[in-house]
A and B are shown apart, each in its own frame.
Chain A
Amino acid sequence: MFKKTLVGAVAALALSAGTASAQFTDNKVKIGVLTDLSGTYSDLAGQGSVLAAQMAIEDFGGKLNGAPIELVSADHQNKADIASSIARKWYDTEQVDAIFDLVTTAAAVAVREVSREKGRIDMNSGAGSTVLTNDKCSATGFHWTYDVYAMAVGTGNAVVKQGGDSWFFLTADYAFGHDLEAQTAKVVKANGGTVKGSVRHPFPNADFSSFLLQAQASSAKIIGLANAGSDTINAIKQAKEFGITQAGQSLAGLLVFISDVHSLGLDTAQGMMLTTGYYWDRDDASRAFAKRWSEKMKGRMPTMVHAGVYSSVLHYLRSVEKAKTDEGAKVAEQIRTLPIKDFFAVNGKVRADGRMVHDMYLAQVKKPSESKGPWDYYNILRTIPGDEAFKPLADSTCALVKK
């Protein structure tokens, strides 16, 4: 009896508190960047994403609703349970309104669940799997920068057309890796190629020797690397060590970032085809962003994830301003309808499934002789329009898409 009255009293208090501050919870906007600060993906996302978010806040003006915009960040160590606890803690006890970056699909999906439950916004720039805009789609969840479909369509198509028509996959054993392999296999077969086999490696993994040996035994022309970050780098390096590339097989990095090319060096990486959502040297606006970012990041250049975090944070803040509230559902409406204006989202628009569709670019890594200096690594071969790069809305299994 007493317990019921107590619970009732608490509930009444909570409700009244809710109606009092109708517009902004705790009267300010607080955003969180949840990323991998120390692990396999820390170079392509990590601290650089936190910086990108900081820059977006500054460019927006630093304030909303009269109060400074706050930024928190944390390391989810690529683990779903750590990401989930931090997100829950942020939403429940620190009044965080939206979470960004979220590299690593396992962590991304975990945070998507928590965000959906609490009605808060999550804008993903780091993870790749298409589940985020299909089975796990949400009214307040967005997928901003790239996804494995775009990679498969961009890189897969290009490699097969060049003559790489038999493939063997080396796949990171979690949702992202499986998804990347599946999408690329589809594209290869659609272009008349064959998939000779695949092997799954633990994530993360240091020694690829036995997996590479299996790939070699398959005699496939192309060894598709359905992984990312330091896994891709290690696989490529060890393939060279074991004479696999010298013996005639080629490696296709299905998700390669400029930070990876930098680690590998042009000597090893030259000629590699890859798909990207952003290249720092593509045009003036891209260069301007890169220069500012680079000053604080010891001369490195931003990857598409970093650019995507900047773009998503900026668009979020503009949407909050337009909606005059930080309540998840209302802001999500604005995110979908407000036009996106920045250097990253060229021809960008947000679809019902949460996918931000924008132009992607097919690039090839330069030969050492073609490069004029560090980070001058890509030749952009063609622009892939958003509607071609991303999975058609009609094929989406997202419950929000009306058929």
Chain B
Amino acid sequence: MTRQTLFVLVLLVLALAAPFGIYPIFLMKGLCFALFAAAFNLLLGYVGLLSFGHAMFFGWSAYVTAHAAKEWGLTPELAILAGVALAAVMGAVVGWLAIRRQGIYFAMITLALAQLMFFLAVQAPFTHGEDGIQGVPRGHLFGLIDLSDTLTMYYFVLAVFVAALLFLYRVVHSPFGQVLKAIRDNEPRAISLGYQVERYKLIAFVLSASLAGLAGSVKSLVFQLASLADVHWHASGEVVLMTLLGGVGTVFGPTVGAFLVATIQNYFSEAGSWVTIIQGVIFVVCVLAFRSGIVGVLAPFLKKRGIQA
């Protein structure tokens, strides 16, 4: 068995045992954030597009899933599917609009579109505005497994997370993924080689949006709540922070970043604005001195030992 496989197996065992030592709700929050960050990382790290509005997929998916589970009585897997489907559609529309531009313009367009979606969320009656959708039932998975038990829910979330990460890994290491990296490194060259660059970018965007939506859907079931905070641009900023801190373009970077951010939030949640200040400081430090992120810095050491992070 290779070092890489061993490394992954160790992580998996740790993940399975974690809820017996660490507060499971915190772990689930970390996993949802990690999935969100991984989805964002696909776009930034492998395609080179900085989206500053990813919260719209995360948050709207959360709302749809919450509504589906609470008002329509759908079982969790169907409710999640509904949320992801919406995120995919939104991703297609937003992607089609935004991909016409690059770099900073792309970022600004995604930000503004996300604001549009934010205001829609405030106005739409089903979201209940400031109150949010509360008391979302976790339901029975496939009609059989009761998810209101915290431990069961944790394993479900972990399974979804691992599956999604595996999917991302396959995408990135496929021919499709290679083209994406080519586009990131030198777009004019990719075009000259005959690739339909716009189409690749759009597909990547839709994939990223759908996975972000998956993270949001799961999160709304974990916390049994979908609120405006999920669609606010601060959430978009947070996912950028997680990815930047963890390491853009690395496999485990977003996960590391996500758990760190979740830990900071947890630790400082009762002290109000300190969370914001600390996040700001991390942003500044990372941009000035630490651009490859934690995993990015560790990557050379791990590579020598045969582990690709």
Whole-angstrom distance between the alpha carbons of A93 and B23 in the complex?
7
Looking at A19-27, A104-112, A253-261, A317-325, the stretch in contact with chain B turns out to be A104-112
Residue B279 interfacial (CB < 8 Å): no
Give residues 111-142 of B contacting A (CB, 8 Å): 122, 128-132, 134-135
For the complex formed, measure the closest distance between the CB of B147 and the CB atoms of chain A, giving whole angstroms: 13
Q: Which of B23, B269, B270 has the most CB of A within 10 A?
A: B270
Assess the A173–B130 pair: CB atoms within 8 A.
yes
Residue A113 interfacial (CB < 8 Å): yes
Residue B194 interfacial (CB < 8 Å): no
Give residues 64-106 of A contacting B (CB, 8 Å): 72-75, 77, 79-82, 84-86, 88-89, 92-93, 105-106
Q: Which of A80, A85, A105 has the most CB of B within 10 A?
A: A80
The contact size tier of chain A is 20 to 34
Residue A206 interfacial (CB < 8 Å): no
Of the candidates A10, A38, A175, which one forms a contact with B131 in the assembled complex, judged by CB atoms under 8 Å apart? A175
Assess the B270–A74 pair: CB atoms within 8 A.
yes
Assess the B273–A80 pair: CB atoms within 8 A.
no
Residue A203 interfacial (CB < 8 Å): yes
Whole-angstrom distance between the alpha carbons of A83 and B271 in the complex?
13
Residue B308 interfacial (CB < 8 Å): no
For the complex formed, measure the closest distance between the CB of A139 and the CB atoms of chain B, giving whole angstroms: 16
For the complex formed, measure the closest distance between the CB of A48 and the CB atoms of chain B, giving whole angstroms: 16
Looking at B97-105, B163-171, B219-227, the stretch in contact with chain A turns out to be B219-227
Assess the B269–A110 pair: CB atoms within 8 A.
no
Residue A211 interfacial (CB < 8 Å): no
Assess the A37–B272 pair: CB atoms within 8 A.
yes
Give residues 50-76 of A contacting B (CB, 8 Å): 72-75
Q: Is the interface of B mostly helix, strand, loop or mixed?
A: helix
- Residues of the A chain whose Cβ atoms lie less than 8 Å from the Cβ of B151: 7
Assess the B225–A174 pair: CB atoms within 8 A.
no
Whole-angstrom distance between the alpha carbons of A82 and B266 in the complex?
10
Of the candidates A88, A113, A175, which one forms a contact with B25 in the assembled complex, judged by CB atoms under 8 Å apart? A88
Chain B residue at minimum C-beta to C-beta distance from A39: B272
Residue A374 interfacial (CB < 8 Å): no
Of the candidates A75, A173, A175, which one forms a contact with B271 in the assembled complex, judged by CB atoms under 8 Å apart? A75
- Residues of the A chain whose Cβ atoms lie less than 8 Å from the Cβ of B271: 75
Known interface pairs A81-B227, A92-B23; A86-B129 also in contact (CB < 8 Å): no
Give residues 217-255 of B contacting A (CB, 8 Å): 223-225, 227, 229-230
Chain B residue at minimum C-beta to C-beta distance from A79: B229
Of the candidates B134, B270, B273, which one forms a contact with A86 in the assembled complex, judged by CB atoms under 8 Å apart? B270
- Residues of the B chain whose Cβ atoms lie less than 8 Å from the Cβ of A86: 269-270
Q: Which of B130, B227, B266, B270 has the most CB of A within 10 A?
A: B130
Residue B72 interfacial (CB < 8 Å): no
Whole-angstrom distance between the alpha carbons of A10 and B25 in the complex?
17
- Residues of the B chain whose Cβ atoms lie less than 8 Å from the Cβ of A77: 272
Assess the A81–B23 pair: CB atoms within 8 A.
no
Assess the B227–A80 pair: CB atoms within 8 A.
yes
The contact size tier of chain B is 20 to 34
For the complex formed, measure the closest distance between the CB of A177 and the CB atoms of chain B, giving whole angstroms: 9
Of the candidates B23, B122, B130, B270, which one forms a contact with A80 in the assembled complex, judged by CB atoms under 8 Å apart? B130
Chain A residue at minimum C-beta to C-beta distance from B227: A81
Assess the B25–A81 pair: CB atoms within 8 A.
no
Residue A202 interfacial (CB < 8 Å): yes
Known interface pairs A7-B151, A79-B227, A202-B122; A109-B272 also in contact (CB < 8 Å): no
Write the A30-42 contact mask toward B (1 if CB under 8 angstroms, else 0).
Answer: 0000000110000
Of the candidates B20, B134, B224, B230, which one forms a contact with A109 in the assembled complex, judged by CB atoms under 8 Å apart? B134
Assess the A105–B270 pair: CB atoms within 8 A.
no
Assess the B270–A110 pair: CB atoms within 8 A.
no
Assess the B25–A110 pair: CB atoms within 8 A.
no
Whole-angstrom distance between the alpha carbons of A85 and B134 in the complex?
12
- Residues of the A chain whose Cβ atoms lie less than 8 Å from the Cβ of B23: 89, 92-93
Whole-angstrom distance between the alpha carbons of A402 and B23 in the complex?
39
Whole-angstrom distance between the alpha carbons of A174 and B134 in the complex?
13
Chain B residue at minimum C-beta to C-beta distance from A81: B227
Known interface pairs A74-B270, A84-B223; A89-B132 also in contact (CB < 8 Å): no
Whole-angstrom distance between the alpha carbons of A173 and B121 in the complex?
13
For the complex formed, measure the closest distance between the CB of A4 and the CB atoms of chain B, giving whole angstroms: 11
- Residues of the A chain whose Cβ atoms lie less than 8 Å from the Cβ of B227: 79-81
Assess the B229–A173 pair: CB atoms within 8 A.
no
Whole-angstrom distance between the alpha carbons of A395 and B237 in the complex?
47
- Residues of the B chain whose Cβ atoms lie less than 8 Å from the Cβ of A106: 130-132
Whole-angstrom distance between the alpha carbons of A7 and B24 in the complex?
14
Assess the B129–A110 pair: CB atoms within 8 A.
no
For the complex formed, measure the closest distance between the CB of A181 and the CB atoms of chain B, giving whole angstroms: 14
Chain A residue at minimum C-beta to C-beta distance from B20: A10
Known interface pairs A88-B25, A89-B23, A92-B25; A81-B132 also in contact (CB < 8 Å): yes
Q: Which of A7, A85, A173, A203 has the most CB of B within 10 A?
A: A85
Ordered by A's residue number, 11 sampled pairs between the chains whose C-beta atoms are within 8 Å are A81-B230, A86-B270, A89-B25, A106-B130, A109-B131, A110-B132, A110-B134, A113-B134, A174-B130, A174-B131, A202-B122
Q: Which B positions have Cβ atoms within 8 angstroms of A?
A: 20, 23, 25, 122, 128-132, 134-135, 151, 223-225, 227, 229-230, 266, 269-273
Q: Which A positions have Cβ atoms within 8 angstroms of B?
A: 7, 10, 37-38, 72-75, 77, 79-82, 84-86, 88-89, 92-93, 105-106, 109-110, 113, 173-175, 202-203
| Nearest 7 A/B pairs, CB to CB | A174-B130, A74-B270, A106-B131, A75-B272, A81-B227, A113-B135, A175-B131
Q: A79-B229, A81-B227, A174-B129 are in contact. List 9 more A-B contacts (CB 8 A).
A: A10-B20, A74-B269, A80-B227, A81-B132, A85-B25, A86-B269, A88-B25, A106-B131, A110-B132
